[in-house]
Structures are given as structure tokens and as C-alpha cells.
Copies of this chain bind each other. A is one copy, B any other.
Amino acid sequence: MFVNSDDIEKMDQRYRIALINSITGFKSANLVGTVDANGITNLNIVNSCVHIGAHPPLIGFISRPHSVPRDTIENIEATGFYTINHINEAIFRQAHQTSARYPQDQSEFDATGLTELWENDFTAPYVQESLLRMGIKFRKKLPIDINNTDMIIGEIIQIHIPEDCLVENGSVDIEKAGSIAISGLDRYHRTQHIARLSYAKPDQKIKVIE
């Protein structure tokens, strides 16, 4: 099927949202944990985490006007810290449920039954059921003026990785850690290893490492 700008413009709003959210490709599945000045915690599913750089270690996500509740962003700006926690198959329904609009004084941890984990004196709550967890220091809110969204950029200052998922070269086998992928707004997928490939050079044939 072929669709052009005019077709996209004429689409029903919900149809367009479903379509355009689907075609980026597979997305990471993470929970962002924060806390406000009154100690009320907040947890929100985010599917737009993107690697920005390794030194300093930077991770970004897109805060769209209606996609990420204001409390997440307000808490990040107020406290300067948040957690990013990989979603696995055991918790994907609860993770999805965090996208419901709960009253501001209700914690999504309580509402969904996910467990707050306070460790290493970190300012924001981790998700205990998540096996791969990151503590993030807020660095910058980058406005995207075309559609009034923001990219929230943070520095990774703590990482918790399951011991047996760390490979000798520093990479992490996140499939082994049980992390899952999202497509579109509502589809969840487990993954199945195809191959790990060697570093590409112009005059060499790619090798399968694993």
C-alpha cells in the first residue's frame, strides 16, 4: 500500500496516530520512575528511549504533549533525578497500565502493584521487578519547536545489570535479561537471537560472532 502526505493529512486522528507510531520500527520498553517533593512516587512507561552517546553516557526520550504525564517531567525537573527500568515479560501488563491517567496524588506503583526499590541512596525509585535498571541525572530539556515536544536528556550514573548477562566486551545480552520490545502503541514482543555480527570493514566479509 502506498500513502502520501495528502493521505496522511486526511486520516482520522486516531488512525494516523496508530499508523505513524507503528512505522518507526521496534522500540525499547522502559519504565521511568520519579518522586515529587511530597514523596509521592510516579511511574510511566516510555517507548522512545534513545542512545545519544557513551562518554558521557547519555540517554534521551521524547516527551510529547499528551504521551508522558506532566508529573514525570515536573518531578525530573524538580528533583534532577529519575530511573529508567527495562520492562520484561513478567511485568508488561502492569507497565502498560502505568499509561492510564491516575490522579496526581496516586502513585502508579500502588495502582499497578509494581514495587518501589530504593537503593544506593538514589533520589528516585527503581522498579524492583526490573532486572536492568539505570539511575539517571537530568541534564537537559531540548525543545523541538516543530510540534512542541521535548527531548529529555540525562546522564547514566548508576547501572544494575544481571551478572550473567554481561558479555566480556562490555555489551549486555538484554534478550537474556528478559527485556522485551514494543511496536506501535500497544504491541509487545519477546525477541529471539538471530546473530551477533563482527565490526564491518570495507574489504572484509562480515562474520557471525555468536
Q: What residues on B are CB-neighbors of A38 within 8 Å?
A: none
Q: Cα distance A52–B179 when bound, in Å? A: 23
Answer yes or no: A40 CB below 8 A from chain B CBs.
no
Q: What residues on B are CB-neighbors of A147 within 8 Å?
A: 52-53, 55-56, 58
> In angstroms, how far is the closest chain B Cβ from the Cβ of A56?
7
> In angstroms, how far is the closest chain B Cβ from the Cβ of A208?
9
Q: What residues on B are CB-neighbors of A52 within 8 Å?
A: 62, 64, 144, 146-147, 149
Contact of A191 with B26 in the complex, beta carbons under 8 Å: yes
**Contact status of A24 and B1, CB under 8 A, knowing A55-B16, A199-B186, A200-B100:** no
Q: Cα distance A142–B143 when bound, in Å? A: 9
Q: How many copies of this protein are present in the complex?
A: 2
Q: Cα distance A5–B139 when bound, in Å? A: 14
Could you pull out 18 A-B pairs where Cβ atoms are within 8 angstroms? A1-B162, A2-B159, A15-B170, A17-B170, A19-B171, A21-B54, A21-B171, A25-B86, A25-B174, A47-B51, A53-B146, A101-B201, A102-B202, A142-B142, A146-B153, A175-B189, A181-B189, A187-B195
Binding site for B on A (CB under 8 A): 1-5, 8, 11-30, 47-60, 62, 64, 86, 89, 92-93, 96-103, 111, 120, 132, 134, 139-140, 142, 144, 146-147, 149, 151, 153, 155-163, 166-167, 169-175, 179-181, 183-202, 204, 206, 209-210
